[in-house]
Amino acid sequence: MRVRRPIRTRTALAAAALIAATFSVRANSGTAAADTSGPDASQVAYFARQLGRNSVYVSDQMPRELPRSSAPAIAETAKRLDVPAFVLALPSGTVRGTQEALLDAVHTRLGRDGVYVLLDETSVGAARPYGVAHSAREVRDAAYAVGYELPSDASAQRSFRRFVEIVNSGQAHQRYKTARVEFDHASGREPEPLHPSPTDRENQSLLTGVAVAGVPVLLLTLVPYLRHWRRTLPVPGREDRA
């Protein structure tokens, strides 16, 4: 039978120091991970600076889905709200941490109250009110309602217009509840698409082609028949002369 030797004091101290160092590294790593999970400070400063110049900032990284030239139209829509609005339009995956945390940080940096909205390529990603009459729940439910009321092919501009309309209606929570029941994403139900799908366009093109090609063929078939039919018609007065 093997007998374990007693651990010497120096060895025990060394082991204790190693364990303590290990926990310290893990704690520091956890703190670092927590720090990096929040909004990027340079991004926050940049976005706040842009919104300080113009209440709408559209990133140039999604020119096809939402070109920068759409910023004036978004600003005009934002004016329909009864409170100031600040809009960030950013591609998905740009934000580090949560979208709400980014809006919180940008508002703190900018220091101006209003409704802050984050748009992605197709919809309202997040919305937060600061120092205005609209509650956080009201603004949040308006953003949620947009996701249910509009189909998946809706644009970010259309989604923002619907968001403003819902906020102004004063019925954001009811709109959200109704739309969630009517258009349950899990069941596959959603509003009618705003634009035809590629399959629909192909079918439409096929029908158009058949119609265009079929008209000449129909005419070529009918013309001889009409001529023959006209020749068989009795000529007025011919029977009387006979």
Q: Could you report the per-residue pLDDT of 79-112, keeping only the tens digit for each?
A: 999 999 999 999 998 889 999 999 999 999 999 9
DSSP assignments along the chain, one per residue:
-PPPPPPPHHHHHHHHHHHHHHHHHHHHHHHHHHHHTS--HHHHHHHHHHHHH-SEEE-TT-TTTS-GGGHHHHHHHHTTSSS-EEEEE--TT--SS-HHHHHHHHHHHH---EEEEEE-SSSEEEEEEESSSS-HHHHHHHHHHHHHHS-TT--HHHHHHHHHHHHHHT-HHHHHHHHHHHS-GGGT--PPPSS--HHHHHHHHHHHHHHHHHHHHHHHHHHHHHHHHHHTSPPTTHHHH-
Residue 2 pLDDT > 70: no
Q: For the chain, which residues make up each domain, given as ranges?
A: 41-187, 196-226
pLDDT value for 184: 74
Q: Which of these CATH numbers, 3.10.310, 3.40.50, 3.30.1050, 1.10.8, describes 41-187? A: 3.10.310
List, for residues 117-176, the tens digit of each pLDDT value. Answer: 999 999 999 999 999 999 999 999 999 999 999 998 999 999 999 999 999 999 999 999
